[in-house]
Amino acid sequence: MTTDIYQAAIRPLLFNLVKADPEKLHTSTIHTLSQLGKIIHRPSTHWLDTRLQQTLCLSDKRLQQNLFGLKFPNPIGLAAGFDKDGIAAPIWGSLGFGFAELGTVTFHPQPGNPQPRMFRLPQDNAALNRMGFNNLGAADMNTRLTQLRKQLTLPIPIGINLGKSKITPLETAAQDYRDSFHLLKDCGDYFVVNVSSPNTPGLRSLQDSAMLSSILDALQQENLAQKPIFVKIAPDLEWEAISDIINLAKTYKLAGIIATNTTIRRDNLKTQIIAKTGKPPSSEAGGISGMPVRDRATEIIRFIYQQTQGKVPIIGVGGIFTPDDAWEKITAGACLIQVYTGWIYEGPWMIRRILKGLLAKLEEQGFDSISQAVGIRE
């Protein structure tokens, strides 16, 4: 069975036998996908695209949604952080994703934190990362995406996740986000203000009302084309802080909220020691993704949905591995969901498997569209 090839052979080989360094593996994967993305749209090798789609995609009109003026072929997107520079942008639709979020990109190119900075926690079905927004910068992404969009029409919506450059002081963060948005506003279908990464000093303090307000104000002044703008929040916020962000989302007419980023909490982890560093997770800086963040992310989605009576769209992300995980997020109130860590653990057939599972659940419930499931268990 195709699903078993990755889980029974490829993953054990890479994770256990070769003990491939997670960041090196990621870099080679993204470069391979980038090369693949270049060739699948050529007429001579178009068969490869057809083959990929037959194997990994699932097209069904019950999974489609029109949201914020965009057409989503299915509700599962690639979460930010995987394709930071958008080098593999043409491939994501052919791997089954219904949308892809590129970035985080910053106005100034930056190397990120020293390595090692990405760790697998297999006992917890999790990862710990402190990448620190390593990326080639907004101008580079603008050049690449502008060229790409001239050559082809991408089959799925593309989001661009914006972060603050490390060298920019917090006080001038709004201008930094605005500068990136100015360069990239014609390249993305939607935009995300990332104020929730734990790996840029002080970044999460930008979730405070006054700071966030000035960023959103600056962006909306620049946003004459009224592109959908989201804010991505941390799972570690208190309810009151989330309520404040909901109010800002309404004030600044945001398209919605992305919940959530990685967590700085370390409770209930099975991993005692991270092999690479010989230290416990509690002594390592960074954000945890995957299973440990799953239930908190869902709880936050449910809270936002309840507080807004479903009026503020939510993109749910955190610890999605199975159709049940996806269904939980959607029925708690997420109209779209995203995956990162689950895709690493479960492999490239995961999207199709989850979409199949979602269709089965729609049938069980007698629903004829995924949008009918959003928030039914708020």
| Site residues (CB under 6 A) for ligand FMN, limited to 240-299 | 261-262, 289-290, 293
Piece in contact with ligand FMN (CB under 6 A), picked from 40-48, 69-77, 129-137, 360-368: 129-137
Given 65, 106, 113, 129, the residue binding ligand FMN (CB under 6 A): 129
Piece in contact with ligand FMN (CB under 6 A), picked from 42-50, 60-68, 311-319, 352-360: 311-319
Active-site residue among 180, 197, 214, 289?
A: 197
Q: For residue 130, count other CB atoms closer than 10 A to its CB.
A: 21
Given 341, 353, 358, 359, the residue binding ligand FMN (CB under 6 A): 341
Integer Cα distance of 149 and 122 in angstroms: 38
* Beta strand spans in the chain (E): 65-67, 70-72, 76-78, 99-105, 118-121, 126-129, 158-162, 190-194, 229-233, 256-259, 287-290, 314-317, 336-339
CB of 180 to ligand FMN, least distance (A): 13
Residues 6 or more apart whose CB falls under 8 angstroms from that of 8 comprise none
Piece in contact with ligand FMN (CB under 6 A), picked from 149-157, 201-209, 276-284, 336-344: 336-344
CB of 28 to ligand FMN, least distance (A): 15
CB 286 within 8 A of CB 199: yes
Piece in contact with ligand FMN (CB under 6 A), picked from 56-64, 170-178, 208-216, 338-346: 338-346
CB of 23 to ligand FMN, least distance (A): 8
Nearest partner of 194 among 266, 132, 128, 241, judged by Cα: 132
Nearest residue to ligand FMN, scored by beta-carbon proximity: 81
Token digits of residue 192: 């995300």
Nearest partner of 320 among 129, 155, 78, 152, judged by Cα: 78
Integer Cα distance of 313 and 327 in angstroms: 16
Q: Does 197 bind ligand FMN (CB under 6 A)?
A: yes
Given 156, 248, 317, 336, the residue binding ligand FMN (CB under 6 A): 317
Nearest partner of 132 among 197, 72, 210, 212, judged by Cα: 197
Token digits of residue 252: 């600044």
Which helix (H) or strand (E) element contains residue 349?
none
Q: Does 207 bind ligand FMN (CB under 6 A)?
A: no
Active site residue 369: no
Residue numbers annotated as active site: 197
Provide the binding-site residues for ligand FMN, judged by CB under 6 A: 79-81, 84, 104, 118, 127, 129, 131, 133, 161, 194, 197, 232, 261-262, 289-290, 293, 317-320, 339-342
